[in-house]
Structure 1
């Protein structure tokens, strides 16, 4: 049971890591298409979006294989300033 729950959280973490560069690539692709509203702009906008998606997959796979996606995401969202402040209060 534990292995199944770990797999589910790793998959969710993997998806979260993939989504960030994908959204950035899609935004840049849309901005590019907005400036060049023709077939070339559309194709280049789609290519930029796909590059963001591919970068997201590569980054997520790299983190999955090394430290794990959940560990990576938890370190990003950690607040060391608050933790350090609470440790100082606990020492007094």
Structure 2
């Protein structure tokens, strides 16, 4: 049962990793087609979107096979610099509340 849940979270992580380059490629393809609204612009726009899809799939599969997608996403989402900022901000808010 636990193994199934781990696989499900890895698959969800795989999709999260794969979607970023895909959306970037799709956005660039749309921008290219918007600027060149002809057959060549359409072909290159679709080509850029497909390249983004392939890059996303390759990156997600690589992370899935090596470190694991959940581990990769947790490292990417971790922000120790901002955590320090949030702690000092909370201390400042608590001290202001105590003064009032």
Same-fold status (TM-score > 0.5): yes
Q: Unaligned stretches of 5+ in structure 1?
A: 87-92
Query: Distance between the aligned counterparts of 2:2 and 2:28, measured in 1?
Result: 40
RMSD in angstroms over aligned alpha carbons? 1.7
Match of 1:76 in 2: 76
Match of 1:61 in 2: 61
Query: Distance between the aligned counterparts of 1:26 and 1:5, measured in 2?
Result: 31
Match of 2:40 in 1: 40
| Bigger Cα Rg | 2
Cα deviation, 1:29-84, whole Å, max 9, x if unaligned, reads: 00110111011111110000000000000000110011000000001111212169
Moved over 4 A (4+): 83-86
Distance 1:67 1:38, change over 3 A: same
Aligned to 1:37, the other structure's residue is in SS state coil
* Residue range with higher mean Cα deviation, 58-67 or 77-86: 77-86
Match of 1:14 in 2: 14
Aligned to 2:61, the other structure's residue is in SS state helix
Query: Distance between the aligned counterparts of 2:67 and 2:84, measured in 1?
Result: 22
Q: Report how many residues are paired.
A: 87
Query: Distance between the aligned counterparts of 1:78 and 1:30, measured in 2?
Result: 32
